[in-house]
Amino acid sequence: MSRHRPIDPTRSLATLSLLALALAAFPGCESGPPVEGASFDAAPPVRGYVMARWWDEIPHDEPGECPDGLNVTEVEYFPEQWQTYMVERKRVRETEGRHLEWDHPLLPPDACQDPHAQPDPGYRTLDGPAHVAGLDLDGVDSTLSDASSPQCAHDDFVDPSGVRGIDNQLWRLMGCVRGYRPNDLMDRLHKANTMIKEGGYAILMEIAGMDDPVNDDHVEVQFLSSAAPVSLNALGDPMEHVSFNAHADTTYHNAVATGRIVDGVLTTEPVDLRLKIKQQTQDNAVFYRDARIRATVLPDGRIEGVLGAYWDNENFWSMMNDHMIGDRHQGRNAAFNRGFMCAGLYHAIPRVSDGHPDPETGACTSISTALHFEAKPAFVIRPTLALSQDR
């Protein structure tokens, strides 16, 4: 078993600069061999990474069927009101040079700002089988008919390789939404890597104690946010071996997860994650509960894999709807572009949630999900703490 120092957020900036000089001979951004005059033990290095890709699971080969059709938008559900509004919007734009707001009185009350403003329109979930990537988060191949299920009853998925027990109820929630179907809006955004290329906050990772990238029975993994975007090269691809400051708010310096590497596959124990996310009109922070990863450590220093977690329901609702342009709420516009009604989504979330039952009501308060990621070697720097230590 490897023994090492835990990830230390007070490493000085000066020490990090010295360590950077030793990187040329090593795959990945690590501390390298001891620097003359510095005090080191024989501990393995702390390796830094930046997420070069980060995207939701959208299955392609067998995504599942929606026999009742896809979800409708407000434009389809309230056609007369939206037609009247759009005629007036066009008139105002052409004659007065301004735009009507999305919460204009001509429209129904905005359920994206107040989910109780509209009744449940009958949201359509994906209730049948599908081949969906993810992780078995609860250790049970759950079924709706299993009354002994440790969490809210649900049918687990089978992944593309045939592994059963996959917990990814988010696909049940979004699988019959037009914009989330294969090769539609969200899938195209993921393929274009827009979250990274639009200048959103970089997601960072550190691994301590990885003295063998193929087999190591104890490593420590920490996720952090940065307030800076991912650095891109002239071709628009994320660069390796670039320095990133960790976010000044240590809320986004997440708990350290213990893990192990077996035959080049890294797995970690569950920890909660809070990560800053910025994309288009969205500037928020996700809250994943009991998050863990299963990923391959590649010979070139990159790490590719899946993060599975339970997405806190209240935070999920906020991430889906709190889209802003200045002080203007854009949740209604975002919902229309993706193909659902906020009122429907709000009422459907409890029906498919499968994690963290409330001790009093028994209602689940989170929903299982899966994300894919590619991490490239990088330097993770914490300048505020480092400078304060050096004084």
C-alpha distances in angstroms, 360 versus 356, 364, 365? 12, 11, 12
**What pLDDT, on the 0 to 100 scale, is given for residue 103?**
86
In terms of pLDDT, which residue wins out, 128 or 39?
A: 128
Task: Kindly report the pTM of this predicted structure.
Answer: 0.87
Average pLDDT over residues 309-325: 94
Report d(CA 217, CA 250) in Å as an integer.
Answer: 28
Predicted confidence at residue 99, as pLDDT, reads: 87
By C-alpha distance, which of 31, 22, 91, 27 is closest to 381? 31
**At a CB cut-off of 8 Å and minimum separation 6, what does 206 contact?**
7, 46, 47, 48, 49, 221, 222, 224, 380
What is residue 11's predicted lDDT score, i.e. its pLDDT?
A: 43
What's the Rg (C-alpha) of the chain?
23
Q: What is the pLDDT of residues 99-142, one digit of tens each?
A: 888 889 999 999 999 999 999 999 999 999 999 999 999 999 99
- pLDDT tens per residue across span 51-93: 999 999 999 999 999 999 999 999 999 999 999 999 999 999 9
CA distances from 261 to 212, 220, 349 (A): 8, 11, 35
What is the predicted pLDDT for the residue at 20? 41
pLDDT tens string 160-211 = 999 999 999 999 999 999 999 999 999 999 999 999 999 889 999 999 999 9
User: What is the distance between the alpha carbons of residues 199 and 278, in angstroms, rounded to a whole number?
Assistant: 8
Q: Is the Cβ–Cβ distance between 154 and 127 less than 8 Å?
A: no
∠ CA 125-343-83, nearest 5°, is: 110
Task: Tell me the C-alpha distance between 69 and 266, whole Å.
Answer: 39
- Interval 226-235 mean pLDDT: 94
Domain ranges of the chain: 1-34+44-391
Distant-in-sequence, close-in-space partners of 36: CB < 8 Å, separation ≥ 6 = none
Angle between helices 313-321 and 342-352 (to 10 degrees): 160
Residue type, 149: S
Distance from C-alpha of 105 to C-alpha of 5, rounded to nearest angstrom:
60
Kindly list the distances between the CA atom of residue 144 and the CA atoms of 9, 287, 346, in Å, as whole numbers in the listed order. Answer: 45, 26, 21
pLDDT at 384: 59
Angle formed by the axes of helices 13-20 and 383-390, nearest 10°:
110
pLDDT (0 to 100) of residue 391? 41
